[in-house]
Amino acid sequence: MKQNILVLGGTGKTGRRIVQKLNERGHHVRIGSRGENPAFDWDDPETWGRALKDMQSVYISFQPDLAVPGALEAIEGLVKEAKRMGVQKLVLLSGKGEREAELCEQVVINSGLDYTIVRASWFNQNFSESFFLEPIQAGIVALPQADVKVPYVDADDIAEVAVEALTDDKHNGNIYELTGPKFLTFREVIAEIAQATGREITFTAIALPAYAKMLKDHGVPEDYIWLINYLFTEVLGNEANQIITQDIEKVLGRKPKDFSTYVKETAVTGIWNQPVGV
């Protein structure tokens, strides 16, 4: 049965993949972003009702992260408006091992609506579509927590799980924790990307205060620096993120995409060989 589905963050890393997959299945998809009509703007609750109108299900991706100040209040307001507009199901993208994100999860879980929580580990695509891309292109990567192991998960896998949750009621009431199939350190990640691209990419371990100062010197906004500090101190390396799960296999009936496969696929696009800013 075809559904009316609102995808918040529908132009982002997971959102645009979800939109594509839902369109391929013939569902009626509304992209939730400021540039759409009707527009959706997290900073303007007046836009929420129009975007939610006539929608049966909603995929919620909050930018920049559910951990930031104000996220909980925004999720509370959105859930209240979704109930008022007759939405039946919510699928929330959450962060694995993020205590603040779990507070937002509880709002969705206790909403009285059908729900699925998708807790994801750090994305593979952080290295090709986000904040680690430019240093890789420049050939000089300096990061804290150099030897902490992370089970990176692919955005394609997250999107496929979310689509299943949005379209199949058997996933209602579940919390899925999504990881890739192996642990990698930042050193190992950069070495693998360097090998796949045939480039020399220098990796340097750096203390977190020095990293934060470097971001500030490059004009990075304070709220973004706060988030980086939070992720590197509270999330990266905590016990909840030192576990590889089988939830992707449980939902999709196949193993998650391996990081090496992601690297090979991405290297072919040439993104890591482009000059910074191109």
CATH of the structural domain 4-121+154-179+243-257, one choice from 3.40.47.10, 3.40.50.300, 3.40.50.720, 3.40.390.10: 3.40.50.720
Nearest to 79 by CA among 64, 96, 62, 67: 62
Length of the chain: 278
Enter the pTM of the model. Answer: 0.95
Amino acid 276: pLDDT: 85
Amino acid 62: pLDDT: 96
Amino acid 177: pLDDT: 97
Mean pLDDT value across residues 202-214: 95
Mean pLDDT value across residues 9-25: 97
- Cα-based angle 16, 22, 26 (whole degrees, multiple of 5): 140
pLDDT per residue as tens digits for the range 229-238: 998 988 887 7
Mean pLDDT value across residues 167-191: 97
Amino acid 53: pLDDT: 98
Q: 18 or 67, which is more confident?
A: 18
pLDDT band, very low/low/confident/very high, at 204 (cuts 50, 70, 90) = very high
Amino acid 240: pLDDT: 74
Mean pLDDT value across residues 242-254: 96
- Mean per-residue pLDDT over the chain, rounded: 95
The structural domains of the chain, with segments of one domain joined by +, span 4-121+154-179+243-257
Amino acid 87: pLDDT: 98
pLDDT per residue as tens digits for the range 253-263: 999 999 999 99
